[in-house]
Amino acid sequence: MASITKLPSGAYRVQIRRKGRYASETFLRRDDAHRWARQAETRVDQGLAPNKSSVSRLQTFGDLIDLHITDMCEIGKPPRRSKAATLTTLKRDLGKEKIGHLDRQKLIDYGKMRAEQGAGPVTLGIDIGVIKMIITHAAAVHGLDISPEPVDLARVALKRLGLIGKGTERDRRPTTDELNRLFRCFDDNDRLTLPMTRIVKFAVATAMRLDEICRVEWTDLDVDRRMLLIRDRKDPRNKTGNDQRIPLFAATGFDAWALVTEQAKELGHARGRIFPYNSRSVGTAFRRACVEVSVKDLHFHDLRHEGTSRLFEAGFAIEQVSLVTGHKDWKMLRRYTHIRPETLHRLAASRAPSPLETRAAE
Pairing of strands 21-27, 12-18: antiparallel
User: Looking at the DSSP assignment, which residues form a beta bridge with residue 13?
Assistant: 5, 26
Nearest to 309 by CA among 350, 265, 272, 341: 341
Residues 6+ apart with CB under 8 A from 21: 44, 49, 50
Residue % of the chain over a pLDDT of 70? 84
Tell me the longest C-alpha to C-alpha distance in the chain: 107
Edge-to-edge strands, sheet with 221-222: 221-222, 227-230, 244-247
Q: Tell me how long the chain is.
A: 362
- Both 182 and 321 in a single domain? yes
Would 359 be classed as within a structural domain? no
Check whether 357 has a pLDDT greater than 50: no
Average pLDDT over every residue of 265-272: 94
- Both 138 and 208 in a single domain? no
The answer to whether the predicted template modeling score (pTM) of the entire model surpasses 0.85 is: no
- Print the domain residue range for 257: 176-349
Whole-angstrom Cα distance, residue 134 to residue 305?
33
Q: Give me the number of domains the chain comprises.
A: 3
Q: Phi then psi for 215, rounded to 5 degrees? A: -115, -25
Would 47 be classed as within a structural domain? yes
Asked if 180 and 289 count as a contact pair (C-beta separation under 8 A), the reply is: no
Examine the fold and report which residue of 161, 184, 218 is the final residue of a domain before the chain moves on: 161
What's the alpha-carbon Rg for the chain, to the nearest Å? 28
- Both 66 and 41 in a single domain? no
User: Looking at the DSSP assignment, which residues form a beta bridge with residue 14?
Assistant: 4, 25
- Both 273 and 195 in a single domain? yes
pLDDT confidence tier of residue 9, bands split at 50, 70 and 90: low
- Both 148 and 247 in a single domain? no
- Both 44 and 69 in a single domain? no
pLDDT confidence tier of residue 232, bands split at 50, 70 and 90: confident
Examine the fold and report which residue of 102, 126, 161 is the final residue of a domain before the chain moves on: 161
- Residue 96 has a pLDDT of 93
- Both 136 and 234 in a single domain? no
- Residue 32 has a pLDDT of 75
Nearest to 207 by CA among 182, 233, 232, 181: 233
- Both 79 and 41 in a single domain? no
Asked if 89 and 76 count as a contact pair (C-beta separation under 8 A), the reply is: no
Average pLDDT over every residue of 243-253: 93
Nearest to 217 by CA among 279, 269, 270: 270
Whole-angstrom Cα distance, residue 170 to residue 190?
33
- Both 151 and 185 in a single domain? no
Mean pLDDT lowest among 17-31, 49-63, 136-150: 49-63
Asked if 309 and 338 count as a contact pair (C-beta separation under 8 A), the reply is: yes
Would 115 be classed as within a structural domain? yes
Digit-coded pLDDT (tens) for 279-329: 999 999 999 999 999 999 999 999 999 999 999 888 888 889 988 998 877
Would 362 be classed as within a structural domain? no
